[in-house]
Amino acid sequence: MNAMDVIPGWIAESLEALGEPGMVERLLARLGAHMGSHKVVLFCPRPGRDAALACHQAGMPDDFLHRYAALIQVQDAWTAALERQHAQALARGGSLSQQLIATRDLRRTPFYADYLRPLGIDAMVNGIVEDSPEVGTHVLAMYNELGQDEFSPAQFAWLQTVTPWVRTLMRAQRRFERQQRHNQRLEQSLDALPLGLLHATPGGEVRYLNEHARQWLRIDDECRILLRQATGWQARTPQTLAQIDQRLQRLLADCLRQAVPVSVRLRTGDEHPLFAVATPLRGAATPLVQVVLVPEMPQYSAATVSICAALYGLTPAEAALLPLLLQGMTPREMADTQGVKLPTVRTQLASLFAKTGTRRQAELAQRVMRVTTLVAA
């Protein structure tokens, strides 16, 4: 079968399965089967600055790479041929083993006796997938079984035809794994924040929860959709804000209707009060609303008030509104609590907005919450 008859299907399959466990190994096995080989490896015998000695393999023992790394250090006719003809192998994009050393001479080497023969291998063919100082030399190698014929020049030509696809796949997999590591570090950072973080769609479906949000809202759900990456998303029943707390659903509706940050006061299952601020996420790939959850911390309120008063030059009357603001009180509730008239509270709030550079209560609350979080930390 011509290479171009099978490559388009393999490309489609590899892109569809990108990132799945065992994806590379399955595709290597299919590639090897097409060439009559049941032992295939994609490995990095010469690591670069940003790469490690690593491999994917099908049909080889799990300790293949460690055995190879140890035995390739033995100086014999095979290793000498590898070093002597490295430049030629790079120029032609790989080698048949008989191009480096005659098969009868290969069978006399310690490398054959201690490594190839115990693995049931007589000869091999490889294609050089990539070679650079950054990533090193990556090789796609196939091995025959003991007693089989050597790989032919036609088989080597076929391997060279599929090598660009393998290179593209390997680079895509590398970028995918780099993005996964970035996502994990970002999620770990978000879990370490002293606040809860929740993302929801306009329909109220929860798309992301950090660790504090899961604990405080008592949600037994490992939903993690961040930077368009999901863990177990397809196999789960989506949570909705309405299922968690009807006040969160109303908060979402208010946020979408007003297109500005809005806030509400919640109580968790253990009656610990939370302050929630919902904000439309700008520039998200899909429309999302972010909800920030901060527990009320009376033990820190005095420090928060004094720091904010000094930072923004607040009067005692203005500073006295800050704890009430963090409780999600309306201006009317603040007036009743303080025992003053509503216009007085409105005047004080207007002064607070001017001094802090904010325009609404939710925005002012976010500003104060940052100070509260720093004090708590």
**Alpha carbon distance 347, 360 (integer Å):** 13
Bigger pLDDT: 335 vs 283: 335
Report yes or no: 196 and 210 within 8 Å, Cβ to Cβ: yes
pLDDT in tens, 126-184: 888 877 777 777 888 888 888 888 888 988 888 888 888 888 887 887 788 788 888 88
Quick one: tokens of 293? 């959850």
Residue 269, pLDDT score: 57
Residue 123, pLDDT > 90, answer no
Across 1-145, the runs of DSSP E, i.e. the strands, are 39-47, 55-58, 94-96, 121-132, 136-145
Percent of the chain with pLDDT over 90: 11
Tokens 């007085």 identify what position?
344
Q: What single-letter amino acid sits at 105?
A: D
pTM: 0.55
3-state secondary structure of 230: coil
Report yes or no: 375 and 300 within 8 Å, Cβ to Cβ: yes
Residue 226, pLDDT > 50, answer no
Residue 314, pLDDT score: 93
Average pLDDT over residues 81-106: 87
No. of helices (H) and no. of strands (E), the chain = 18, 10
The HSE-up count of residue 331 (CA atoms within 13 Å, CB side) is: 14
Average pLDDT over residues 283-298: 78
Q: Confidence band (pLDDT; 50, 70, 90) for 22? A: confident
pLDDT in tens, 299-358: 556 778 888 899 999 999 999 998 888 777 888 888 988 899 999 999 999 999 999 998
Percent of the chain with pLDDT over 70: 85
**Alpha carbon distance 162, 363 (integer Å):** 57
Angle of helix 361-376 relative to helix 298-312, nearest 10 degrees?
A: 110
Residue 268, pLDDT > 70, answer no
State the CB neighbour count (10 A cutoff) for residue 93: 17
Residue 35, pLDDT score: 82
* Short-list 246, 237, 251, CA closest to 289: 251
Average pLDDT over residues 119-123: 86
Q: What single-letter amino acid sits at 245?
A: D
Pick from 177-186, 229-238, 242-251: least confident: 229-238
Residue 163, pLDDT score: 84
Classify each residue of 254-280 as buried b or exposed e, where b means 16 or more C-beta atoms within 10 Å of its C-beta: ebeeeeebbbbebebeeeebbbbbbbb
**Alpha carbon distance 230, 169 (integer Å):** 21
Report yes or no: 364 and 374 within 8 Å, Cβ to Cβ: no
Report yes or no: 267 and 278 within 8 Å, Cβ to Cβ: no
Query: What is the phi/psi pair of residue 94, to 5°?
Result: 140, -165
**Alpha carbon distance 53, 76 (integer Å):** 22
Ordered by where they begin, the domains of the chain are 3-183 (3.30.450.80), 194-295 (3.30.450.20), 299-376 (1.10.10.10)
Q: Pairing between strand 289-295 and 196-200?
A: antiparallel
pLDDT in tens, 30-82: 888 888 888 888 877 666 655 555 677 888 888 877 777 777 777 788 888 88
Q: What is the DSSP letter of 193?
A: S
Q: What is the mean pLDDT of the chain?
A: 80
Q: Confidence band (pLDDT; 50, 70, 90) for 2? A: low
Residue 373, pLDDT score: 67
Q: What share of the chain is helix, strand, coil (3-state, %, to 5)?
A: 50, 20, 30
Bigger pLDDT: 20 vs 242: 242
| DSSP-assigned beta bridge partners for residue 39 | 143
**Alpha carbon distance 224, 207 (integer Å):** 7
